[in-house]
A and B are shown apart, each in its own frame.
Chain A
């Protein structure tokens, strides 16, 4: 087995490892989302959850070498930011859009 092939196998294992790490991180965030004592803990857990989901989609894109996953990651980042901002505004002012 040549060194380049061995390193390609190591790289594929690194992609698997990163995906496993992101999956466990999403599990931790879900536990905090269910358990969280206050509402702001739940919002923070949701923010962590969408960042980890975006990273999982990026590693899926690395694994399959296609650019379709990148667009999904971009959309998740965009809508996750808007959702976190709306929830934080709701906790701050009790309404999302100022009258």
Chain B
């Protein structure tokens, strides 16, 4: 399966995948365990930023080594996630604040 990958893929790929998996897991644990909604907003954004960046970089390395030429179409997904994650989290935060204010009235 992955027996023919060169060294410049396996060593950084291992580090990137382990880092991304652990960071995403810690972020989702924060989503489960933190006490407040505004605190819970912080956890999953770790997975959205660092997790996506590391896994996309590892995928870029592996597909570049597998096809034998530089593959950059993973950058498309990076651009999409970078542009969409702040928009959705800011809209969600605004909605939560709006609901809290409406409940106080």
Q: Which residues of A contact B (CB under 8 A)?
A: 4-5, 7-8, 10-12, 14-15, 17-22, 24-26, 28-29, 31-32, 38-41, 43-45, 47-48, 51-52, 54-55, 58-59, 61-65, 67, 70, 73-74, 77-78, 81, 84-85, 88-89, 91-92
Partner of B5, one of A8, A25, A47, A77: A8
Number of interface residues of B (CB under 8 A): 56
Nearest first, the 7 A-B pairs at minimum CB distance are A21-B21, A25-B28, A18-B21, A91-B95, A81-B84, A48-B44, A88-B91
Answer whether residue B1 sits at the interface, using C-beta atoms and an 8 A cutoff: yes
A40 smallest CB distance to B (angstroms): 4
> Could you write out 19 A-B pairs with CB less than 8 Å apart?
A4-B7, A10-B14, A11-B2, A11-B5, A11-B14, A12-B1, A14-B13, A15-B17, A17-B18, A24-B28, A25-B28, A28-B32, A31-B32, A38-B99, A40-B37, A54-B52, A55-B51, A65-B1, A67-B73
- The number of A-B residue pairs with CB atoms under 8 Å apart is 175
